[in-house]
Amino acid sequence: MTKNTRKVPTKGGLKFTTAFAVLMTTATLSQTALADEQQAAIERGKAASALCMVCHQADGSGKHVTDGESWPRLAGLNHEYLAAQMHAFKEGTRDNPSMNGFVQMLNDEQIQDLALYYESLPATAGEAPEVSEEVLALGEKLATRGDWDRYIVSCQSCHGPGNTGVGAHFPGIAGQHAGYLSAQLKHWQANERSSDPQELMASVARRLNDEDIEAVSAWLATQPATYTAKE
């Protein structure tokens, strides 16, 4: 008859097990603290967003006034991108009469809080103008394939699958208001905006004509703001 034996952990094994348990507990507590800190920042950003609601709406969806100014959707955009743009307005590398005054009232923490808050909101569809199918077809071509005969790269080459954004430098432009997209492309063309890395946007915008800008802005506005992989 064989005796049942139980292997007793060695002293070294006990030390390792204890150290591992402490490490995992510390990591869990750190993650919880980080999540709590981020949630607190989002709540502070929500309070500060009272400054932004008049133009960007309570849900961050923005709005477009026909033949007037267009305010972008902020909801769902990358927080690093949003913070960088607010700093650009504050430092004068971007210019907008509506933004210039408001952003001067914000300190660095408030800018970060606002950026995290708007990133946390669900992205909503932008306002698309009524245009012909031919215009939309041209816009789709430029956004998804570009026009290599004119050295125009596609929007999604930088802005990612579905043009829903990649990191801090390439924001989601799908589902953005057509009026805002059109205005920004014209600002790039005229060297009135210069916060792009390596002047990538400026070089693309200068190759577009007015018809291209209308078309690509209109088509992007019709697209979902969040990417869903096709099966």
Q: Tens digit of pLDDT for each residue in 149-199?
A: 999 999 999 999 999 999 999 999 999 999 999 999 999 999 998 877 788
Q: Annotated binding residue at 64?
A: no
Quick one: pLDDT at residue 36?
81
Domain ranges of the chain: 37-122, 125-231
Q: Annotated binding residue at 155?
A: yes
Q: Are 225 and 174 in contact (CB under 8 A)?
A: yes
Confidence of residue 12 (pLDDT cuts 50, 70, 90): low
CB atoms within 10 A of CB 167: 10
Structural tokens at position 62: 């923005």
Average pLDDT over residues 124-134: 87
Domain 37-122 identical in fold to domain 125-231: yes
Nearest CA among 142, 187, 95 for reference residue 104: 95
Q: Annotated binding residue at 53?
A: no
Cα gap 128→187, rounded to integer Å: 20
Q: Annotated binding residue at 87?
A: no
Q: Annotated binding residue at 56?
A: yes
Cα gap 108→164, rounded to integer Å: 26
Q: Above 80 in pLDDT, residue 38?
A: yes
pLDDT over 70 for what percent of the chain?
84
Domain 37-122 superfamily per CATH? Cytochrome c-like domain (1.10.760.10)
Q: Annotated binding residue at 24?
A: no
List the CATH code of the domain at 125-231. 1.10.760.10
